[in-house]
Structure 1
Amino acid sequence: MNIKYLSCLLFFIILVSCQQKQEKLHTQQDIYRYGTKNDSTIFYFNKGWEHILDYGQWTLSEKAFRKAVEFDSTFIVGKALVGKNTTNLNERIQILNDLNNSQIKVSEDDQLILEVTRITLELFNARGQNVKLDEDFISNFLATAEKNYRTFIHKHPNESYIKAEYIEVLNAIHGPKIALDSLHILTTPKQKKIPFFISYVATLESDLGNFKKALSIADDFNDQINNPNIPQPYVLYGSIYLKMDSLSLATSNLDKALQLDPNHIFAQRFKNQINTKLKIIDGID
């Protein structure tokens, strides 16, 4: 039997087995609190995830994570997310130092999230300071993220946004086909209706070259959002059109997204990719 086929088969056997365990746990799980007892803290923490992943509102996301920490100064997971979202390099460096020197005790499950976020901050800080990282830094980071997020979501299957992060990591490591199949297997019926998962299906379909299907899903996503002041539909359309080399349509959508939220990192990256393509085209001409 082909080794690659066997490894994929084993991967999905594990996913299905975990999904069965997830269904058993589903009714037993309440809202996970990430180490805080403050209701306002957990409310704004979840709002921060909602803003950034569902709606592409990076600025509002940062404000929500900061608000969460204001209600509970010992909320170390929330502070880590402030560090991940801030555009201030000096603040991010200080937050990483605070996390590394913190004496606050966190649970084993919270530590899974913190470990990944710490490495993320190391990566962001290195880029911001033009520090060269070890060649295996990214691969080790992704391996840790995959292991930690997988462990977490199988213990806490209702935590949709950590599950979203996990699917993104699977895409980075294993590619869009496995990420898409995993998304369908691991998400509950309720989670399948969450904006992020709908839009990410469109993203993965476009990565696979299924542009007609991706645009159809993007239309459904846009209809669900039904708000011209939300950036994410424009970012989704822009990313799909970029992959289709429809640069004019991609640009108009991404420009609209950045008008609504200039801090949308992915919209910025997509615009840079467009500019690079246009320079190449101009060079050929």
Structure 2
Amino acid sequence: MCFNSSFCLVLMFAASVVFLAGCGGGEVVQSDVSEVDMVNDTIKSDDYFLDYLDVENGRMRYTSRSDSALFYYNLGWHQIMDEGRYAEAELSYRKSLKFDPDFLICQAVLGRLTLDDEERAAIYESVELKRGTLPADEEKLLSVYHDFVHYTNLRERGDTTALPFIRKALLNGEKVFRGLVHKYSGEPWLKSEYVEFINSNHGAEVALDSLAALTRERHAENPFLLGFGASLKAETGELEEALNRAERLEALTNDKSEPKPWAVLADVYFQRGELELAKQHVDRAVQLDSRNLDASRLQTKVDAAIAALSD
């Protein structure tokens, strides 16, 4: 563990329950998350995340009255995108909202992740009542996340308008994120979602072009962007480069309990037609976090492909 400035600041201020997450002027809010929990969560954070917290320029400033809420919000993004830990990310978002229950962006993100239909519906209604109260850029971001919560509610109810709604939401998401990723170039997870929008709307080739442009100066080895690039390369038939990128991600991952590298390797092996290797890696990813949607969906496809061969 590298004892960089963010880590030292956490230890210095733990007694007063303040986390200097580089996110702007929050205040101390009482929560049942203990000081020991907060220090431990920071100690467990890897250098990549702590380095992100140290970035001063190009970061989006979210509206929250608690620096601790902002810390856990950003930690959740790191866990879900870079590490593939969906379950731990959900816990981090819930901790964030304990410090600031009115943190609208975090509410919407939790709404995207929760499996509880009633909770998701309640989150949607809560956020809907407070729309229009945030700064312009944050409001645009909220609108995208809010749309995804609405889509999931529609889908889970079996509403026939869900599919046309998400198609429009994906196009709107691409438009919103196009402006945000260039304005806030220090935000790797905004870049990550933007490339996902482009892939959904325009396909892998266009997504790879955008990925190359967005990572030319920074974030080339961000775990999500590196792994997504591997999957996109496999999708476009560049199978050796895809495997090189996936293996690079695995080599850069110090904590082998993270599902992300195994899910990426599984996807690349699956697209290469190496089903046994795909199964070996996807089973490992799902075992590490059964909530990882990418891994669990891929596991279903791998198992079906193997079963088809034995028929």
The TM-score, its normalising length taken from structure 1, stands at 0.84
In the TM superposition, what is the alpha-carbon distance from 1:208 to its structure 2 partner?
0.8
Question: Secondary structure of 2:159's partner?
Answer: coil
Question: Secondary structure of 2:167's partner?
Answer: helix
Gaps of 5+ in 2: 1-54
Could you give the per-residue CA deviations for residues 87-142 of structure 1, whole angstroms, max 9, x where no partner exists? 11111111111111226711111111111111111221222222222653232111
- Matching residue's letter, 2:129: N
Residue aligning to 1:71:
99
Residue aligning to 2:57:
29
Residue aligning to 1:94:
122
Gaps of 5+ in 1: 1-26
Provide the C-alpha distance between the structure 1 equivalents of 2:131 and 2:171, rounded to a whole number of angstroms: 27
Residue aligning to 1:12:
none
Name which of 171, 174, 180 aligns with 1:146. 174
- Summarize the Cα distance change of 1:280–1:47 in structure 2 as closer, same or farther, 3 Å threshold: same
Provide the C-alpha distance between the structure 1 equivalents of 2:131 and 2:229, rounded to a whole number of angstroms: 40
Larger mean CA deviation between 129-138 and 148-157 belongs to 129-138
Residue aligning to 2:287:
259
Matches within 5 A, 1:236-275: 236-275=264-303
Q: More helix by proportion, 1 or 2? A: 1
Tell me if 1:213 matches 2:247.
no
- Matching residue's letter, 2:224: F
Larger mean CA deviation between 151-160 and 52-61 belongs to 151-160
Provide the C-alpha distance between the structure 2 equivalents of 1:188 and 1:243, rounded to a whole number of angstroms: 26
Question: Secondary structure of 2:305's partner?
Answer: helix
Bigger relative contact order, structure 1 or 2, given CA contacts below 8 A and separation 6+?
A: 1
Matches within 5 A, 1:156-195: 156-187=184-215, 189-195=217-223
- Percent sequence identity is 29
Larger mean CA deviation between 273-282 and 67-76 belongs to 273-282
CA contact (8 A) 2:151 2:162 kept: no
Q: How many residues align?
A: 257
Provide the C-alpha distance between the structure 2 equivalents of 1:185 and 1:134, rounded to a whole number of angstroms: 32
CA contact (8 A) 1:112 1:152 kept: no
Measured on the aligned residues, the alpha-carbon RMSD in Å equals 1.9
Question: Secondary structure of 1:162's partner?
Answer: helix
- Matching residue's letter, 1:200: F
Provide the C-alpha distance between the structure 2 equivalents of 1:184 and 1:226, rounded to a whole number of angstroms: 25
Tell me if 1:106 matches 2:122.
no
In the TM superposition, what is the alpha-carbon distance from 1:180 to its structure 2 partner?
1.1
Question: Secondary structure of 2:220's partner?
Answer: helix
CA contact (8 A) 1:177 1:208 kept: yes
CA contact (8 A) 1:77 1:114 kept: yes
In the TM superposition, what is the alpha-carbon distance from 1:148 to its structure 2 partner?
0.8
Residue aligning to 2:4:
none
Larger mean CA deviation between 133-142 and 157-166 belongs to 133-142
Question: Secondary structure of 1:273's partner?
Answer: helix
In the TM superposition, what is the alpha-carbon distance from 1:272 to its structure 2 partner?
1.7
The TM-score, its normalising length taken from structure 2, stands at 0.78
Name which of 103, 112, 119 aligns with 1:84. 112
Provide the C-alpha distance between the structure 2 equivalents of 1:206 and 1:103, rounded to a whole number of angstroms: 40
Provide the C-alpha distance between the structure 1 equivalents of 2:69 and 2:180, rounded to a whole number of angstroms: 20
Residue aligning to 1:234:
262
Could you give the per-residue CA deviations for residues 9-42 of structure 1, whole angstroms, max 9, x where no partner exists? xxxxxxxxxxxxxxxxxx9835322212422111
Larger mean CA deviation between 70-79 and 132-141 belongs to 132-141
- Matching residue's letter, 1:147: K
Larger mean CA deviation between 125-134 and 240-249 belongs to 125-134
Residue aligning to 1:18:
none
